[in-house]
Amino acid sequence: MNFLTRENAREWLQSSKAYITESDELQFHRSPNKSLRFGLPTEPTRLAQFCYRLINIIPKTTERMLYVQRWHTYPQDSLTFFESTRTGLGCKDFLVERPAHVIDRMLYLDFDARRSHDIREESALSGLLMLTLCFDFSCFVIGQYSNDALLYEDELILFLSDEKMQIDSALSIANSFGLKVR
């Protein structure tokens, strides 16, 4: 996993159909045609699987980035725990200095044949996403060459895509967790 500064994250997205504004909002050069909005699972034990499935809506054939836009500083516990987790993943900087988390593209076709590196990368990204949801930090996940994006704010997930198949996949996840689609 790589940890990027705001400027590095903006550069990383240059090959994408999106960009990050000065106020840390994700914007698209051309808005995706389709969107789906849903809440979070209410059962805490299901949140880890939910996050894993969410990050895998974004195509694995491209690098994927989790960008934390806003977080709470009081009480300090949630930010301290989040940053301690990042330290365990190799980041020595504060979240404010490096708010972007990027994992390599995945080349596996068979889930059971994944390399240990791929398992660690996906586990780390889905775990960080789970913490952002638990702590109610605003964030987004996007692929480098993709128009698919997942945004989280105010306890709602917004999934954006041009592809009906991707929207159907997001709908399938929402339905499998019994979530109300809005």
Q: What is the pLDDT of residues 38-77, one digit of tens each?
A: 999 999 889 999 999 999 999 888 899 999 999 998 889 9
Neighbours of 76 (CB within 10 A): 10
Distances (CA, A) of 91 to 5, 13, 49, 102: 11, 21, 24, 12
Is there a domain that residue 182 lies in? no
> Considering only CA atoms, which of 134, 133, 130, 124 is closest in space to residue 86?
124
Is there a domain that residue 18 lies in? yes
pTM, to two decimals: 0.92
Is there a domain that residue 40 lies in? yes
Task: Show the domain range for 47.
Answer: 2-176
Number of domains, the chain: 1
User: 131 with 61: CB under 8 angstroms?
Assistant: no
What is the rounded distance in angstroms from the CA atom of residue 173 to the CA atom of residue 31? 23
Is there a domain that residue 181 lies in? no
Q: Which residues pair with 103 in a beta bridge?
A: 64
Query: How large is the average pLDDT for residues 72-99?
Result: 95
Is there a domain that residue 157 lies in? yes
- 26-28 and 34-38 beta bridge pairing: unpaired
- Residue 127 is predicted with a pLDDT of 96
Angle at 48 between CA 101 and CA 148, to 5 degrees: 50
Instruction: Grade residue 30 by pLDDT with cuts at 50, 70 and 90.
Output: confident
pLDDT exceeds 70 at position 153: yes
